[in-house]
Amino acid sequence: MTKNIKNYRSISIIDYLSALSSNKKIINAFYILILIFFLFLILTPTIYVLFYLFEKFDLVIAYFQAEPESFTMIAEALYYSVSVAVIVSITDLIFGIPLAWMLVRGKLSVRVQNILNTFIELPLAVPTAGLGLSVALFWGKVPDVTAPPFSLGIITSALPILILFHFTTTFPYVVRSLAAILEEIDVYLEIAGRTCGASAFTAARTITMPLFRSGVVTALILSLAKSLSDTGGVMAVLSATQISVWTGTVLIGTWKHDIDIVKGINLDLIPPLAFLCVTMILMALILMTASRLIVRKGKVPVKRVWTTTEKKLSSEFSVKSRNIITLLFLTFFVIVPSFFLILYIPIGITGPPLIIDWGRFVQSIVNSLLVGGIATCLNVILGVPMGIFISRRKSRFSKFFDILVDVPYVVPSSALGFSVGLFWGGQQLIVNELFFVIMAHSAMTFPFIVRNVIGGLEDLDLSYEDTARTLGAKSFHIFTLITLPIIKFSIIAGIIMSFTRSVGETGATLAVASNFETAPIFIVRLIGENQYFGASLAIIVLIIITSLVIFTLRAVFGQKKTKRE
Give percent of the chain with pLDDT exceeding 90: 11
Judged by average pLDDT, the poorest of 203-217, 243-257, 357-371, 550-564 is 550-564
Give residue-wise pLDDT tens across range 116-150: 887 887 787 677 878 888 898 899 887 767 777 77
Q: Mind giving me the DSSP string for 130-177?
A: HHHHHHHHHHB--TTS-PPTT----B-SHHHHHHHHHHHHHHHHHHHH
Q: Confirm whether 174 is domain-assigned.
A: yes
pLDDT band at 302 (very low <50, low <70, confident <90, very high): low
Lowest model confidence (mean pLDDT) among 165-174, 298-307, 539-548: 298-307
* 59 is a domain residue: no
530 in any annotated domain: yes
Q: Is the pLDDT of residue 440 over 80?
A: yes
Residue 164 near residue 139, CB atoms below 8 Å: yes
What's the pLDDT band for 367 if we cut at 50, 70, 90? very high
Long-range residue pairs from 534-539, CB within 8 A, at least 24 positions apart, any chain:
534/348, 534/354, 534/355, 534/356, 535/130, 535/133, 535/341, 536/341, 536/342, 536/344, 536/345, 536/348, 537/345, 537/354, 537/356, 538/356, 538/361, 539/126, 539/127, 539/130, 539/341, 539/342
| Gap between the Cα atoms of 523 and 531, Å rounded | 9
CATH no. for residue 265?
A: 1.10.3720.10
Cα gap 415→353, rounded to integer Å: 37
Residue 65 lies in a domain: no
How confident is the model over 356-360, as a mean pLDDT?
80
- The band of 112, judged by pLDDT with boundaries at 50, 70 and 90, is confident
Q: What is the pLDDT of residues 33-61, one digit of tens each?
A: 888 888 888 888 888 888 888 888 888 88
**Predicted local confidence at residue 5, as pLDDT:** 45
Q: Is residue 453 part of a domain?
A: yes
Q: Residue 523 to residues 228, 229, 365, 516: CA-CA distances in angstroms?
A: 23, 20, 11, 14
The reply to whether 63 falls in a domain is no
What is the percent of the chain where pLDDT is above 70?
81
Place 16 in a pLDDT band, splitting at 50, 70 and 90: very low
* Structural domain includes residue 352: yes
pLDDT band with cut points at 50, 70 and 90 for residue 18: low
Q: Which domain holds residue 336?
A: 71-557
Task: Please say if the pLDDT value at position 294 is more than 60.
Answer: yes
pLDDT value of position 288 = 78
Closest CA to 365 of 554, 133, 549, 494: 549
Distance from C-alpha of 520 to C-alpha of 508, rounded to nearest angstrom: 11
In the chain, the number of structural domains is: 1
pLDDT at 559 over 60: no
The answer to whether residue 564 is domain-embedded is no
Work out the pLDDT band at 374, boundaries 50, 70, 90: very high
Give the predicted TM-score (pTM) of the model: 0.74
Query: What is the C-alpha separation between 138 and 338, in angstroms, rounded?
Result: 9
